[in-house]
Amino acid sequence: MTLLPEKTEKKLGLVIDLDTCVGCHACVVSCKGWNTENYGAPLSDENAFGAEPVGSFLNRIHSYEVTPADKPAHLVHFPKSCLHCENAPCVTVCPTGASYKRVEDGIVLVNESDCIGCGLCAWACPYGAREMDPIEKVMKKCTLCVDRIYNENLPKEDQVPSCVRTCPAGARHFGDLGDPNSDVSILVEERGGTDLMPEQGTLPVNKYLPPRPKNQMDSTDILAPYLEPIANEPDGFFKWLDKTLDGI
């Protein structure tokens, strides 16, 4: 059994905006690519183009149709990966110490050389954020791209998780959620960021920003200025075109 640190120096994590995520899966593809080519053992795939493909992904997006009371249905795209919990049950059940939480930044990692593939951590994680690699037979999970965020050979703008750098909608944010003055902490405070399944008592570091209330204004009110004709009679080229078409 692995012990959790009593306190971490930082709480690095993600803030995901459910209002702006468009479900494009760019973060999924980027995550797969980066973690296959860099840190740890590659994320394997078996029978990728066959009838029953099997593969490892550290980040997934689920899409749900939500129908609030007295409001129209709308689609919510929900990205899911490891939440790097403060009270991480996946760490405390690990019999070999392969799963651990770092004191310096709070990131939860797996030492793949010590992992025996028992699957206890996947059983303990209430979020389903762990994946058993079908070829390597070791447990994989989001690393917050630890090999990017501390890599001084990369430009400053690239020293963030691959999913954050790739997101075209700006729905993913990275920073120290243990610092109340950080950009991510301020964003969580302003937008009412929440924990996923707080009743589990895991104290996830990652936060989700809820969708904003949709504008109830009638679309015809918005488009009305653009629906008015710009002229009562065509002129110039359009007058000639109108006359030509009438003659056909």
Whole-prediction pTM: 0.82
Residue 86, domain member (yes or no) = yes
Residue 44, domain member (yes or no) = yes
pLDDT tens, residue by residue, 113-136: 999 999 999 999 999 999 998 888
Residue 182, domain member (yes or no) = yes
227, pLDDT greater than 70: no
Residue 166, domain member (yes or no) = yes
pLDDT tens, residue by residue, 149-170: 999 999 999 999 999 999 999 9
Cα atoms in the 13 Å half-sphere on the side-chain side of 129: 25
Residue 20, domain member (yes or no) = yes
Residue 218, domain member (yes or no) = no
CATH code assigned at 119: 3.30.70.20
Residue 58, domain member (yes or no) = yes
Residue 230, domain member (yes or no) = no
Closest C-alpha among 240, 218, 243, 214 to residue 70: 214
- Domain count for the chain: 1
Residue 107 is part of which domain span? 12-209
- Name the CA radius of gyration of the chain, rounded: 24
Closest C-alpha among 187, 190, 155 to residue 174: 187
